[in-house]
Amino acid sequence: MSKSSTLWSDAIYRLSRNKAAMFGAFILFILIICAALAPWIAPYSYSFQNLEIGASPPSAQHLLGTDVLGRDLLSRILYGARISLLVGFVATGVALIIGVTWGIIAGYVGGKVDSVMMRIVDVLYGLPFIIFIILLMVIFGRNLWLLFGAIGAVEWLTMARIVRGQVIGLKNQEFVLAAKAMGVSNISMFRKHLLPNILGPIAVYATLTIPQVMLLEGFLSFLGLGIQPPMSSWGTLIKDGVESMEEYSWLLIYPGLTFTITLFALNFFGDGLRDALDPKTTDN
């Protein structure tokens, strides 16, 4: 156990020296706090309408202005953060569970099982998944949990490939062979011996999957096929902003800015984490 804790403390040290990554982490931290505390810190309810003022530019009462129905934009962005981040984390979690299980089994069992499992991944890679998500949303209705599951079910493929590669590298090492010789069951082999050793790449890839997932959700919500009113994510806010951007450009700009900054933060943090955990595989 001491070896792995050295790896992690090393990584944390390297990460803390990476300014872009720390900045990303800081922004994410603030965002998560804001999203969690939205009901208490939002100045208004996300559905509170003030039709008398309608769409008004940013002012002291409404820091980021109001939308066409007089709803406070700042509050709506804060509540939207809950949905957008929730989709990001839950769908990534779904992708993680499927991808890691698939990759560990394929890599550890090897042989025919491996080649069939990875061939399935190859085939799925080549299919237009966004179209299938849209198809599912049309057929089964636009349900939040279905959306989580559908997006997660799409994003697990790369995770499975990464995990499989790692497991193949590990499975012939002495400690795994020793554990096998001692009669460790498959389940505890996965949990106690393989998983802890591949946590690094998994953490990195998971961090980089979150922005992908959020983009996908934004994409679907923008088309009107994702999150449905009265719930709102950043994708739906951007969609609403586009509809009235000619007169009320702030309705597009502030949600768009929030979304972009979040994606930046996640990408910087993910890149930094990768560099920190595995200094060999920087992308330059």
Partner 1 sequence: MLSIFLKRVLLAIPVLLAVASLTFFLVKLAPGGPFDADKAVSPQVLKNLNEAYNLDASQWEQYVDYMGGIIRGDFGPSFRYPGRSVSEMIATGLPVTFELAFYSILIALLIGITSGVLAALKRNTYLDFIPMAIAMIGICVPTFLMGPLLVLIFGINLELLPVSGWGQLPGDKILPSITLGFAYAAYIARLSRGGMLEVLNQDFIRTARAKGLTEKNVVIKHAMQGGLIPVVSFLGPAIAGLLAGSFVVETIFQIPGLGRFYVEAAFNRDYTMILGTTIFFSAMIVFFNLLSDLAAMWLNPRSRDA
By CB under 8 A, tell whether 252 contacts partner 1.
Answer: yes
**48 to each of 56, 110, 209, 266, 276, how far by Cα in Å?**
15, 57, 34, 31, 45
By CB under 8 A, tell whether 86 contacts partner 1.
Answer: no
End-to-end CA distance of the chain: 32
By CB under 8 A, tell whether 23 contacts partner 1.
Answer: no
Which residue in 9, 188, 260, 281 binds partner 1 (CB under 8 A)?
260
Instruction: Determine contact, residues 18/275, Cβ cutoff 8 Å.
Output: yes
Alpha carbon distance 137, 151 (integer Å): 11
Q: How far is the CB of 264 from partner 1 (least distance, A)?
A: 5
By CB under 8 A, tell whether 24 contacts partner 1.
Answer: no
Hey, what are 147's tokens?
Answer: 């959306």
- The amino acid sitting at 200 is G
Which residue in 36, 41, 113, 127 binds partner 1 (CB under 8 A)?
127
* Span near partner 1 by CB under 8 A; candidates 120-128, 163-171, 190-198, 201-209: 120-128
Q: How far is the CB of 267 from partner 1 (least distance, A)?
A: 6
By CB under 8 A, tell whether 181 contacts partner 1.
Answer: no
- The amino acid sitting at 140 is F
Instruction: Determine contact, residues 171/108, Cβ cutoff 8 Å.
Output: yes
Instruction: Determine contact, residues 217/151, Cβ cutoff 8 Å.
Output: yes
* Span near partner 1 by CB under 8 A; candidates 10-18, 153-161, 202-210, 257-265: 257-265
Instruction: Determine contact, residues 65/71, Cβ cutoff 8 Å.
Output: no
By CB under 8 A, tell whether 229 contacts partner 1.
Answer: no
Site for partner 1, rule CB under 8 A: 123, 125-128, 130-132, 134-139, 211, 215, 218-219, 222-225, 235, 238-239, 241-242, 245-246, 249, 252, 256, 259-260, 263-264, 267, 283-284
